[in-house]
Amino acid sequence: MPTEPVVIIGAGVAGLAAAAQMSRAGLPIVLVEARNRIGGRIFTQRDSSSGSTIELGAEFVHGRPTEIWQPLQHAGAAITEVDGQNWCVSKGKLSPCDFFSQVDSILDSMDDSAG
């Protein structure tokens, strides 16, 4: 077993997962993060005036991949499925996003007959 710690750069999801795995394996680790918080692109805030949740980073998790759900469940983290409107800022103004209809339009125009 190494006596020198493994240095992990970045406390985003990948860095935290690596740190957890190495720690469980008994390896000494040092986790280095440049920001004053952990989480990487995940940056959820709650608006105090409305109580609304605002995601300033990663917006959503697709499906239930074990790489994400297993550590959350192991940690006993509260997992909440949310539904609501998507809002975007364009030219300094807040308005409803039309992102998914644009994605649908692109996907509809793709030729999926090639195998």
DSSP 55-85: ESS-----S--HHHHHHHHHTT---------
Joined together, the tokens standing for residue 102 give 């644009």
Per-residue confidence (pLDDT) for residue 9, from 0 to 100: 97
CA distance 73 to 9: 25
Runs of H (alpha helix) within 1-115: 13-24, 66-74, 99-109
Q: Could you say which residues of the chain have pLDDT below 50?
A: none
Per-residue confidence (pLDDT) for residue 60, from 0 to 100: 66
Q: Which domains does the chain have, with CATH numbers?
A: 6-82 (3.40.50.720)
